[in-house]
Amino acid sequence: MKSITLDELAAMREDYSKDAKARVVRNALTKNDINTISRSFEAENRNPNIFTIDLKTMSATAQMQSGRCWIFSSLNVMREIIAKKYGIREFELSQNFVAFYDKLEKANWFMECILCELDAPLSSEKNRFILETAVGDGGQWNMLVSLVKKYGIAPKTAMGETYQSSHTRGMNGILNKRLRKFAVDVHEAHNAGKDEEIPAIKEACLTEIYSLIASCFGLPPQKFTFEYYDKDGKAHAEYDITPLEFYEKYLGVDLEQYISVINGPTADKPYHKTFTVEYLGNVVDGSPVKLLNVPMEELKKAIIDTLKDGEPVWFGCDCGKDGDRETGLWDDTQYAFEETFDMNLAMTKAQMLDARQSAMNHAMVITGVNLADDKPTRWKIENSWGDKPGNKGYFIASDTWFDQYVYVAAINVKYLSEESKAALTEEPAVLSPWDPFGTLAD
């Protein structure tokens, strides 16, 4: 390893001091945000809020101070299907209902993963990963499918938000401390040759965690009344319906037909192959995570075909790159950081994935696209950050940003190519737990 020498430091200081542009930038940054002085306002002009395909969807929802974007966005897709079928003007599905069972199932998943690694010390690579990630708010499409198929869905009127469901940090801290204590307890029992004590240790932990979640989120309804106005203003009501009955009757869609299609152009992930990620999931007896990798043009075509049929699309992306929350624009050309600081920042999508510069961290809904000569130029995005940011909670993504930072979409199998359908019959390759496509949208 080579240290920085004093001569090198002196040379860098002298070069910087002679740079008039650097002095201007330094002075500007004393009073301005780094994005402000690097902003290219032409990007906003290139992306007007106009789309050749523009689905008329409902008001934006708000996940508040929680990482439940994948739940909000998934349920926003489902509510549009329900609303279209029954002529409902405006409503929400209960995000809190799904989040309750997600937290409980994730706690059980964590404990089962720990039990799978009992013969390895807590300091092992996999145990360290399990312990560090523990249980958070985030998730992926397959995890949502597992929850809905097991527990159903409910309207928000049946189980509304609580302060804790909208502000999850405090509860998550308590939950994860208890789970890490479980990991310590079962390892000590195993190392002492007392494996017969482990089931009781797990049962006690799961019972305590259920109580914690119920106190924070409330008890999910076993039955409820569903009431709504149709487009003509007529009131409707159905009484004593269970969440599973509601899912089967009002949604009536086989969610297993929606495939997690990814675009991962790295050398270890050939196109038209399927993958799964070790220790990624939430429901032990649920749908396993299965990712189909395709070229971006194929993914875009499937999304556009879905939009043409009047259905919005759930997707996951890296929302932290090149975005402006106030204007509601994601565009990889709107910040000229390379020119501002005279730096070489260029990386391909594959390089960013391999170098951990980018990965999926947020899920939203695609509700429109602008086509010029049948090619997309920009995309309309329904977010779950409330109705204040962007265009009443809706955002715009340039097509070049889409290429760089969109990683996955839930696509009905009927929109896939024959080559992709054939790939779904193959056994998926198993990726390491820390693969970039194992990250959760939150």
Which are the catalytic amino acids?
69, 362, 383
Q: Which long-range contacts (CB under 8 A, 24 or more apart) does 301-305 make?
A: 301/415, 302/261, 302/409, 302/411, 302/415, 302/416, 303/366, 303/369, 303/409, 303/411, 304/53, 304/369, 304/371, 304/376, 305/415
Buried b (16+ CB within 10 A) or exposed e, 26-53: eeeeeeeeeeebbbeeebbeebebebeb
Residues 6+ apart with CB under 8 A from 432: 277, 278, 438
Buried b (16+ CB within 10 A) or exposed e, 223-253: ebebebeeeeeeeeeeeebebeebbeebbeb
CA distance 41 to 336: 10
Judging by DSSP bridges, how do beta strands 362-372 and 53-54 pair with one another? antiparallel
Name the burial class of residue 207, with classes exposed (0-12), middle (13-18) and buried (19+) by CB atoms within 10 angstroms of its CB. exposed
CA distance 108 to 129: 16
- CA 416, 418, 422, 423 dihedral sign is negative
List residues bridging with 381 in a β-sheet.
Answer: 366, 395
Number of other residues whose CB lies within 10 A of the CB of residue 85: 12
Q: Residue type at 343?
A: M
Number of other residues whose CB lies within 10 A of the CB of residue 20: 8
Return left, alpha or beta for 363; rule: phi > 0 is left, psi -120 to 50 is alpha, else beta.
beta
